[in-house]
């Protein structure tokens, strides 16, 4: 089944660019590194990868007559910010369940995405402990709305369900079209992966179009086995929705968990160095939660020799830069070894 068979809102006016990271490629040596700039996707407030998913998720909500979107995420969730922005654009209300995955991390006066929640006019924020069940809390909100004569629609965290993942099926097709027009043969695509919808959609999109480009996931939260299981289970649902009856090879789901560090949203030295390196070499900002750990994984795999000389590697930048401003303390510390190395070059 083709994507135009599904209801879809139009928040993105054009393809996001693929850019050659020439200076990073020279710095790492060997392979050629490119970046897919989904951080420049500006269809909703401050952009980011969730916009692609929300085109399908919000269309489904509107088709079902919803007047309120309900979703969940961490206290600085890019997904929550963009779901709220989509609700504003569509004249809907929005309720957020914020998971305090790091105890004590919620600050109602924080900058970053938290500030944007309030500027955009969130109807209600409920903060829950990280070990609570966000699905249960979203169901409570749904029932409360129903009992008051309203109609809610739950978008799972990250819009990572079979409807939302269609956004990255579409992105995979976009990448194939761009690569063809650029005469660019891709050997790998690398993406950060958390709730799984982006990675799943890319895998399904390439599979749908008979492309054999390997997609590598850099985990930001779970261990490798748990993440690969989550993605594999979701891809079965996406393929059923697309009415594709070919069996997806489980071995095509390849995740790396050595860059998670102590846990979701908790910083690592590799992440901090990678964010600074990409900023200094390419003028590209990464957030410390997703794209920062993703680019740290890409850089480390390159240093380990995972990619062969001359291969073309595409990194998907998932956006999320507003979260960077809520973690300024990570990057305003004393001079690092990286600073000294770069200044000597």
The catalytic position among 25, 77, 105, 273 is 77
pLDDT tens-digit profile of 29-41? 999 999 999 999 9
pLDDT tens-digit profile of 282-327? 999 999 999 999 999 999 999 999 999 999 999 999 999 999 998 8
State percent of the chain over pLDDT 90. Answer: 93
**Strand pairing partners for 255?**
217
**What pLDDT is stored for residue 345 in this prediction?**
44
**What pLDDT is stored for residue 42 in this prediction?**
85
pTM across the whole model: 0.95
CA dist., res. 294 & res. 259, Å (int): 8
Q: Binning pLDDT at 50, 70 and 90, where does residue 333 land?
A: confident
Q: Which residue has the tokens 């994507």?
A: 3
50-159 has the same fold as 3-47+162-344: yes
CATH class for domain 3-47+162-344? Answer: alpha beta
Catalytic residue flag (residue 211): no
**Strand order of the sheet with strand 32-37?**
18-20, 32-37, 312-317, 188-193, 215-219, 254-256
pLDDT tens-digit profile of 112-149? 999 999 999 999 999 999 999 999 999 999 999 999 99
CA dist., res. 87 & res. 319, Å (int): 20
Query: Phi and psi (nearest 5°) for 149?
Result: 85, 15
**Residue 303 Cα distances to 259, 267, 317, angstroms:** 14, 21, 20
Q: SS3 for 300?
A: helix
Q: Where are the domains of the chain?
A: 3-47+162-344, 50-159
**Strand order of the sheet with strand 68-74?**
124-129, 93-100, 68-74, 152-155
- What's the CATH number of domain 50-159, 2.60.120.480, 3.40.50.1100, 1.25.40.80, 3.40.190.170? 3.40.50.1100
């Amino acid at each position: 089944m083709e994507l135009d068979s599904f209801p879809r809102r139009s928040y993105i006016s054009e393809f996001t660019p693929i850019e050659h990271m020439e200076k990073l490629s020279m710095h790492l040596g060997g392979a050629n590194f490119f970046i897919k700039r989904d951080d420049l996707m500006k269809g909703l407030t401050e952009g980011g990868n969730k916009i692609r998913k929300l085109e399908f998720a919000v269309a489904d909500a509107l088709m079902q007559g919803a007047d309120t979107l309900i979703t969940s995420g961490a206290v600085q969730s890019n997904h929550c910010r963009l779901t709220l922005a989509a609700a504003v654009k569509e004249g809907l209300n929005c309720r957020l369940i914020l998971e305090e995955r790091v105890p004590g991390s919620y600050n109602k006066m924080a900058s970053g995405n938290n500030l944007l929640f309030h500027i955009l006019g969130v109807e209600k924020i409920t903060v829950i402990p990280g070990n609570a069940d966000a699905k249960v809390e979203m169901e409570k909100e749904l029932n409360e709305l129903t009992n008051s004569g309203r109609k809610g629609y739950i978008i799972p965290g990250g819009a990572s369900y079979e409807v939302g993942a269609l956004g990255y099926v579409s992105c995979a097709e976009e990448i194939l079209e761009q690569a063809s027009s650029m005469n660019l043969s891709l050997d790998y695509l690398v993406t950060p992966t958390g709730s799984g919808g982006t990675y799943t959609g890319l895998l399904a999109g390439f599979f749908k179009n008979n492309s054999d480009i390997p997609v590598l996931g850099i985990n930001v939260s779970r261990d490798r086995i748990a993440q690969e299981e989550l993605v594999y289970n979701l891809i079965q649902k996406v393929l059923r929705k697309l009415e594709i009856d070919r069996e997806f090879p489980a071995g095509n789901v390849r995740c790396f968990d050595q860059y998670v560090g102590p846990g979701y949203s908790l910083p690592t030295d590799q992440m901090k160095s990678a964010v600074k390196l990409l900023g200094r070499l390419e003028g590209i900002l990464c957030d410390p939660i997703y794209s920062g750990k993703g680019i740290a994984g890409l850089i480390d795999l390159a240093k380990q020799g995972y990619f062969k000389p001359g291969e073309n590697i595409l990194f998907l930048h998932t956006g999320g830069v507003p979260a960077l401003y809520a973690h300024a303390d990570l990057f305003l510390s004393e001079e690092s070894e990286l600073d000294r190395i770069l200044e000597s070059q």
